[in-house]
Structure 1
Amino acid sequence: MPTPSAPVAPTFSPSRLSRAVLLACLSLGLGATATVARAQASAQAPAHHEIPAGPLDDVLTRFAAAAGVPLTIDGQLTAGKRSAGLSGSYGVREGLDRILAGSGLTVTAQPGGGYVLVKSPAATDTSGEAALPVIKVRSQAMLEATTEGTGSYTTGATSASTGLNLSLRETPQSVTVVTRQRIEDQGLTQMMDLVQNVAGLSVSQGGNAGSDSSTIYSRGFAVENYLIDGVGQNYSNYSSIFQTNDLVIFDRVEVVRGASGLMNGVGSPGASINLVRKKPTAEFQASGRVEVGSWNYYRGEADVSGALNEAGTLRGRAVAAVQDNDSYIDRLNEKRKVLYGILEADLTPNTLATAGVSIQHHDATGHARGGRPLFAKDGSLVNWARSDSAAANWGYSERHNSSLFASLEHRFDSGWSVKGTAIRSESDYDERLGYAAGGNLTPGTGSGISLYGSGWEGTPVQETFDVRATGPFEAFGRKHELVVGASTSRTRDVAPDFPGWAVTPIPDIYNWDGNTPEAPVYAPRGTQSFSERLTSAFAAARLKPTDELSVILGARVTDWRNSVSYVDNAGVMYDSSSRAESGEITPFAGVTYDFSPHWSAYASYTSIFKPQNNQSVDGSYLDPVLGNTWETGVKGAFFDNQLNVSAAIYRIQLDNFGVVIPGEFVGGDLNKPAYRAESGTLSRGFELEVSGALTPAWQLSAAFARNLAQTREGGPLDTSIPANTFKLFSTYKLASVGNGLTLGGGVRWQSEIYSERSIFPGGGAAPIPVRFTQEAYAVVDLMARYQITRNLGASVNLNNAFDKSYHMSTWNSYYGTPREVRAALDVKF
């Protein structure tokens, strides 16, 4: 648990800052436009490609997706033809000609952009007659992992589960990829907004964004594994800081449901969330966006990318965003700033160097960690308005993150590649908490509720080095794949240690304006020093006994160390702990079998290892969570792999799972609930999902998930998270309407949740048992986008269209967002 902090006075004018950053974004775009204008003038700027040999239509669509150009393919022309692939730096037309050499095929440029595959002029069929006119068929048989520019709700490949670059159908786990197109269609600017639309995930949110009161759940367990570009973010002391990510800098978000120990080493069995950064493009592109919405919402974005030299061997990208908004909750204001830059350089035709920096700020005032109490002293439910704030005016949250990253990748002629990545990330958080969450309302008087005042701050610094190699090998006359890797990560934080909570009565909550009581004054009683080191190595092989059968075998071995010490102002240590786990092996096994051209069956197994910070009544830490997870199902890919479907059944068994002991606290500290370790915890359920294109104009993402998590005795593990969820979002493009009109809509539904507790009326009266139930509910979202000109578009998103009122948590009165509208103008070049 982070430690309390003292308030920090703002040192700038928010409105002036917003205008300054918007002007900076505009200047950035204009400057980059001048820098890469030459790249825009030529569609032939060379770019580095590494495409392995394979079926001709496979190689062509990989190249077209990487180059960002439309390519129309007639499957009859490519049937039975193969290509040697492409390696090196090529312009678009040069690359296409190289791939098609000797095939008897060529491409013709289209007036509106893009290419069409046709027979070479001299080519004739076996009867000697001229070739028939080509039938234009939209084909992307193998989409690349990158989703930007594809317009798709699915992806062609992901390595988030095993480290091997596999299609969704080839991956023996449940994986959801939220693509760039879907992020833009739904206006999902923040990660917590995205999570609420992901298959099988739910959010128990008890307070404003920017605190530790928003827990993400999957398959009955909290999600605690967050990664960026496949590299884990490690700070077990306060992992929720990783939820504060703006999506403007990311190409896609990959969610692996179930245990992901092969890629993480440690973590919960619920899910892992991997955010994949945008990469520079060889062709010039620039975009800007201005968005306004309900509750004084204002946001601006700029994104410029392209080649930085004539040869196209140096490419860059810069992204910036600024946001300022009030809220449906009184007194709450949020400001966000994002700046991201990345460079790629082809040091040789086979060697790629990458370096970049990202800076993200999220600042909130009028910030509360929770909502007002649900019940009055007599046990009756209090019907607070959705706008009623629990925050003191002086409550705030500041979360700043800066990250420097670099990588070097070399591809060998044998098909093997080696990549090393180094990252230094610093997360600076400072949260001052004052929120009306204590006690219970005395009806009619407005008394009985108290303000909890506290805070915490820290500056954890994580340094990570990751290296991995992947490539093919041959055995028993068959071709297989192997990936091996190792990583080491160290996180350090030295922060002031403040005393616990100050509890101050609010005389009349009905007439409270947040100005009283004043912020408590804290002086640090000492210093907290935190250190965590994670070192691991892994290997996974994809064996192909037959064309239809794949077997994936792998394991990760992990060493973990964690130490915390507290030193008072006189330099005397008054508390410390040190824990370590060595040589923990996390195995993984998976199998897929293609029993038809479109369908595969799969099964997988992995074990679970997760150190935990939960403590027993005497202050000792619980042993690491151990367990096993099994999953089996079927997956399908249709319409040239542009539509993916899956059905999964899973079973998770855990030992040493931390369960709260009601009314017990660690060492009597009311800020630290005590836990007991329970073995035999069981979670099981099933998930159904479909994502991708039903037609070239119709994109769809839909999923239903059911989970039953139980204690050893068979009772429910946590009734405050839904057992059933349904997520749907779909768009349809009406190309015949003007320059193109896209309409979309979706629904988010979850089943009933509840919690039980006791109210203590005081005066010697007996406790009153109460139960709060949030009934099943559905939220409907709508969107529309119209292309005004080739470069200018307008869009509108109407979220919670029917203004459904619902609680995000069963523990306080924090409501979900009411009906809101956002309108935007987009310009793209």
Structure 2
Amino acid sequence: MSRVYVPGRLAMAVKVGVFAATAMGGWPVSVMAAPAQQQNAVRSFDIAGGSLTQVLGQFASAAGVAISFDARLTEGLKSPGLNGTFGVSEGFSRILGGSGLQAEPRANGTYVLRPALTAGSALELGATNINGQMLGATTENSGSYTTGAVTIGKGEHSLKETPQSVTVMTRKMLDDQNLNTIEQVMEKTPGITVYDSTMGGKYFYSRGFRMSGQYQYDGVPLDMGNLYVQADSFSGDMAYYDRVEILRGAAGMMKGAGGTAGGVNFVRKRGQAAPQTDITLSGGSWDNYRAQVDTGGPLNDSGTIRGRAVVAEQSRHYFVDDASRKDQVYYGALDVDLSPDTTLGLGVAYEDVDASPCWGGLPRYRDSSDLKLGRSTCLDPSWNTWRSQRTTVFSDLKHQINDDWALKVASVYTKNTQDIKYAFASGSVTPDVGTTGMLGSMYDYDQVDYGLDAYVDGKFAAFGRQHELVVGFNASRAKKDDFYSVAFLPQRQNVFNPDKHIPEPDDSYFIANSSRGGPVNSVTRQKGAYSTLRLKLADPLTFVIGSRVSWYSSDTDSDFINTGTSQHSSTTETGQVTPFAGLLLDLDEHLTAYASYSDIFTPQGNYRSEDGSALKPLVGQSYELGIKGDWFDGRLNSSFNLFRTLQKDQAQTDFNSSCPSSDGYCYVNAGKVRAQGFEAEISGEVIERLQLLAGYTYTQTKTLDDIDTSLNGAAFNSYVPRHVLRLWGDYALGGSLERFSVGAGVNAQSDNFRVSPASGEKISQSGYAVWNGRIGYRIDDTWSVALNGNNLFDKRYYTTIGTENFGNYYGDPRNFMMSVKASF
């Protein structure tokens, strides 16, 4: 049976489709509008009565989806219309109720109209009022703080069906709070602690452990962010992402080698078939200005080629003196339907950062007491420079093999170059002197990452029940070419009267006076085969079992210019098995209890013991027991869990040894630590018009065994607070104030501390709460305006606690951002 695609502009598609349905007799008709990108949008509909063909066409066009059908199926069927607010799937279901027809979704995001399994009569329904919302994995245009499905674990499963802790930062959440960088996203994510690095960027901690390099892009694992340059973060702008999925707990199934903390999946925006453009202009405190254009639409008459383009630029200063940054982001994407069952996706992103940063934080007095400097104090010279360019190329192919099985193959390539030269204050301060030393650094950093992931996902019947199987393979390669040098400058800095004009040393100075540094070249390769089986043991009981077999190799060549020595280190892990198991019990239609186990390994072969042998991998296990719920057709999700994580055989420095390494010491496998606690989270529409994301985490860490026996029984990670609360809600007002929305939230935590390595004293920050707010106003169907305020009560606190020498960072003072947005 041939298919007729309606030509012409989208605004005319429905009218032409209806004419074709009546004029072409038995020819199949395709009413064209946007496919998958708009399927999860929730809109209000007011469709007048008429023929079923006409009602379907008007609904498809308004909803932004495509539906194909044979005109003979709808011949003679009438509908008085549809009125209400709902998602696509429910809308089709209501319109087709009693007609004997059903709208079947296809792999490329379109729908096809087919006879239902049970016979029905002609459609003679009254006007329907609906307030439903059927959410999917894509969060754009959903207007929700939750999601209908997550993709971090291959395939699509609801949060309730996922036997681990996952938080999704949706597009609405990112927009409402102006979260434009990975650091800002993680700072607002429940259960995550963010810690500033003295070399720029931030470290992320979950359940007491550092999240290191556990990143996915559209499900493809990469080793980005696990090296010292920019810590665990990087110049990743959120402009071209639909959502961020954050997993807490061991994430070994994601890529094999990794930590017990969790993982992050960035899911990008896709090509659009319904023309839509968003323009956003923002301006705020400390000369913070941002402009963003996001546009997309069909590139051919049939809508089988869909495009997307995003351009963003931000220029800003900071609350600290003389620090500034400029970001440029360019992104383009295409989605091409090669057939009704096969879609090819392509994308490319380029990001440029040009900054004069203030890094290193502030020192303290020699007795660890606070200098009580002004929050705007920056002790760095004005010549600090950070240049970063990143190019990322995405591709994927999705093929619906049949009604039950699908194939997805995806790849990511990214290249990052960074040139950094900076100095910061380093050294404790004597009260009568008031000065500190200056530590300078120079970096020339290049890294190229490749990643590939391919899997088949399908359902099969056995023992009278339906089960699910995922079988796949992924691989990654990271190549780093780096040169760095660290040296103390001859000048000292007055902390109470900083000199911004300390002379910039020539590059040769860093080489001649280097305390550590040199060229570092490394290649890390990972590959693995994985499989997950979801067995339906009984109607309410599902058993999930999976495993990954991993191969890992790493080779590093380092030259130490301060000692004139060099070192080659390599590590290989072959056939390392990473198991996962989970059990889900449906207590009723809303609640599911679950238990899960997962483990990880982290290769440490680059560390050498005194006899020259490579260290064994760090290993860990994570146990979780909890209950999850969803209500209102998935528009509200909740979870509560108890967790315990054990980690052992971490590489620890043997200070009684001597080895050719960057610090001159050898290492040993030692130590066993435990983290345990509980988490509670709620996300989505709590009551009508109120969207909420709230999460509370209690974490207790303990050192069970350490090479330094005096640490046994002490907190393993004291700068991860025991109590962390992340809360944000947005309420759309009704009645005469229906154009207004009001948002508010708080980031709160209990005290945290570090023990000074020099004096043994605690350097602490007492518990604090930072309140934020937002007021939005919809001018008309095109224009809207919003005002965001952060740290509304101007709380003075340290967001990161360092040592007497450096690393103490103030949190942002009170600040505001005004945004104007046009959507058409």
TM-score normalized by structure 1? 0.83
Aligned-pair CA distance for 1:290: 0.5
Larger displacement relative to structure 2 (468-477 or 286-295): 468-477
Per-residue CA deviation, residues 361-406 of structure 1 (Å, 9 max, x unaligned), is 22211x243112122x355431111111132212122222101122
Closer/same/farther in 2, CA of residues 651 and 122 from structure 1, 3 Å limit: closer
The share of aligned pairs that are identical, in percent, is 31
CA distance in 2, matches of 1:807, 1:304: 40
Count matched residues: 741
Q: Report the secondary structure of 1:194's partner residue.
A: helix
Quick one: structure 1 residues 292 and 37, their matched pair in 2 at CA, closer, same or farther if it must change by over 3 Å?
A: farther
Q: Give 3-state SS (helix, strand or coil) of 2:756's partner.
A: strand
Q: Tell me the equivalent position of 1:6.
A: none
Q: Distance in 2 between matches of 1:486 and 1:379?
A: 51
For the structure 1 residues 251 and 528, does the alpha-carbon distance in structure 2 shift closer, same or farther, using more than 3 Å as the test?
same
User: How far 1:675 moved relative to its partner?
Assistant: 6.0
Matched, 1:454 2:449: no
Partner residue in 2 for 1:789: 780
On the 8 A contact 1:526/1:566 being kept in 2, the answer is yes
Q: 1:380 to 1:654 in 2, by over 3 A?
A: closer
CA separation of 1:813 and 1:103: change in aligned 2, threshold 3 A: farther
Alignment partner of 1:345 is 2:336: yes
For residues 164 and 742 of structure 1, the distance between their equivalents in structure 2, rounded to whole angstroms, comes to: 35
Greater mean deviation of Cα atoms: 174-183 or 162-171: 162-171
Choose from 612, 623, 635 the match for 1:630: 623
> Cα distance 1:647–1:455, how it changes in 2: closer, same or farther (>3 A)?
same
Q: How far is the alpha carbon of 1:458 from its aligned partner?
A: 1.6
CA contact (8 A) 1:189 1:246 kept: yes
1:599 is aligned to 2:583: no
SS in structure 2 at match of 1:149: coil
Say which structure, 1 or 2, has more relative contact order (CA 8 Å, 6+ apart). 1
Aligned-partner Cα distance in 2 for 1:157–1:121: 26
Q: Aligned letter for 1:384?
A: L
Does the C-alpha gap of structure 1 residues 520 and 775 become closer, same or farther in structure 2, counting only changes over 3 Å? farther
Quote how far apart the aligned CAs of 1:646 are: 0.4
Change (3 A) 1:664 1:444: farther
Q: Structure 1 stretch 538-547 or stretch 501-510: which is displaced more?
A: 501-510
| 2:210 matched residue in structure 1 | 222
| Structure 1 residues 271 and 197, CA gap change in structure 2 (3 angstroms) | same
Q: What letter matches 2:815 in structure 1? A: E
Query: Separation in 2 of the partners of 1:99 and 1:640?
Result: 33
Q: Does 1:657 align with 2:647?
A: no
- Paired residue secondary structure (1:545): strand
How far does residue 617 in structure 1 lie from its aligned partner after superposition?
8.0
> How many Å separate the matches in 2 of 1:342 and 1:742?
32
Structure 1 equivalent of residue 39 of structure 2: 66
Matched, 1:479 2:474: no
Quote how far apart the aligned CAs of 1:665 are.
9.4
Residue 812 of structure 2 corresponds to which residue in structure 1?
817
Distance in 2 (CA, whole Å) between partners of 1:354 and 1:690 is 33
Q: SS of 2:735's equivalent?
A: coil
- Give the 5 Å matches for 1:236-275: 236-238=226-228, 240=231, 242-275=233-266
- Equivalent residues in 2 for 1:74-89, closer than 5 Å: none
Give the partner amino acid of 1:258.
G
Q: 1:393 to 1:92 in 2, by over 3 A?
A: closer
Map of 1:154 onto structure 2? 146
SS at match of 1:283: coil
Partners of 2:76 and 2:693 in 1: CA distance: 38
Is 2:615–2:669's contact at 8 Å kept on the other side of the alignment? yes
Q: How does 1:331-480 map to 2 (within 5 A)?
A: 331-365=322-356, 367-375=357-365, 377=366, 380-436=369-425, 438-447=426-435, 449-480=436-467
Indicate which of 638, 645, 648 corresponds to 2:638. 645
Structure 1 window deviating more from structure 2 (470-479 vs 144-153): it is 470-479
Q: CA deviation at 1:44?
A: 8.5
Cα deviation, 1:241-298, whole Å, max 9, x if unaligned, reads 6433111110000001001111221111111011110111221110000000000001
- TM score, norm. by length of structure 2: 0.83
In 2, distance between residues paired with 1:669 and 1:605?
A: 37
Q: Distance in 1 between matches of 2:536 and 2:337?
A: 33
On the 8 A contact 1:280/1:316 being kept in 2, the answer is yes
Matched residue, 1:325: 316
CA distance in 1, matches of 2:534, 2:75: 32
Closer/same/farther in 2, CA of residues 659 and 566 from structure 1, 3 Å limit? closer
Q: CA deviation at 1:684?
A: 0.8
Aligned equivalent of 1:724:
723
Q: Which amino acid aligns with 2:575?
A: G
Does structure 1 residue 201 correspond to structure 2 residue 197?
no
Structure 2 CA distance for partners of 1:354 and 1:554, relative to 1, 3 Å: same
1:623 Cα deviation (Å)? 2.5
Partners in 2 of 1:594 and 1:45 — Cα distance? 48
My pick for the range that moved more, 353-362 or 725-734, is 353-362
SS of corresponding position for 2:809: coil
Q: Who is 1:807 aligned against?
A: 798
565 and 318 in structure 1: CA distance in 2 versus 1, 3 angstrom threshold: same
Q: CA offsets, 1:554-612, max 9 Å, x none?
A: 1011111100114699xx98321111111001011111111111110001111111124
Match of 2:114 in 1: none
Q: CA deviation at 1:689?
A: 0.4
1:189 is aligned to 180
Q: 1:137 aligns with which of 130, 143, 149?
A: 130
For the residue of structure 1 that corresponds to 2:173, the secondary structure is helix
> Using a 3 Å threshold, how does the CA distance of structure 1 residues 678 and 536 change in structure 2: closer, same or farther?
same
- Indicate the SS of the match to 1:192: helix
For residue 652 of structure 1, report the CA deviation from its aligned partner: 0.8
1:777 positional shift: 0.3
Q: C-alpha distance in 2, partners of 1:69/1:326? A: 38
State the alpha-carbon separation in 2 of the partners of residues 181 and 284 from structure 1. 20
The equivalent residue for 1:562 is: 554
Question: Structure 1 residue 340: deviation in Å?
Answer: 0.5
Where in structure 2 are there 5+ consecutive unaligned residues?
1-6, 18-34, 47-62, 101-120, 512-516, 705-711
CA shift at 1:238, angstroms? Answer: 4.0
Q: Tell whether the 8 Å contact from 1:72 to 1:137 is kept in structure 2 after alignment.
A: no
SS of structure 2 residue aligned to 1:636: strand
- Deviations 1:714-742 (CA, angstroms, capped at 9, x unpaired): 32101122111011100100143456111
Q: Which runs of 5+ in 1 are unaligned?
A: 1-35, 47-61, 74-89, 760-767
Instruction: Give the stretch that moved more between structures: 804-813 or 174-183.
Output: 804-813
Displacement, 1:711? 0.7
Distance 2:396 2:133 in 1: 29
- Check conservation: 1:396, 1:431, Cα contact below 8 A: yes
Residues 497-543 of structure 1: CA deviation (Å, up to 9, x unaligned): x4432243415332223211433533769643211111111011111
1:288 touches 1:303 (CA, 8 Å); kept in 2? Answer: yes
Q: Per-residue deviation at 1:98?
A: 9.7
Alpha-carbon distance in structure 2 between the residues aligned to 1:45 and 1:348: 23
User: For the residues of structure 2 that align with 1:406 and 1:567, how far apart are their CA atoms?
Assistant: 37
Q: Equivalent residue for 2:683?
A: 691
Contact 1:729 1:746 in 2 (8 A): yes
The answer on whether the counterparts of 1:202 and 1:218 sit within 8 Å (CA) in structure 2 is yes
Structure 1 residue 657: Cα displacement: 2.4
Q: Flag the 1:122–1:808 CA change in 2: closer, same or farther, 3 A.
A: closer
CA distance in 1, matches of 2:730, 2:487: 49
Deviation per residue, 1:395-418 (Å, 9 max, x gap): 122222101122222112242111
Determine the structure 1 residue equivalent to 2:170.
179
Is the deviation greater in 341-350 or in 232-241? 232-241
Q: 1:263 to 1:499 in 2, by over 3 A?
A: closer
What residue number does 1:750 align with? 749
1:409-462 CA distance string (max 9 Å, x none): 2112242111222322101122212001x2222324432x00101122221111
Distance in 1 separating the partners of 2:299 and 2:432: 69
Give the aligned partner of residue 696 of structure 2: 704
Asked if structure 2 preserves the Cα contact closer than 8 Å seen for 1:335 and 1:364, the reply is yes
Deviations 1:626-659 (CA, angstroms, capped at 9, x unpaired)? 1211111000111121100100111111111245
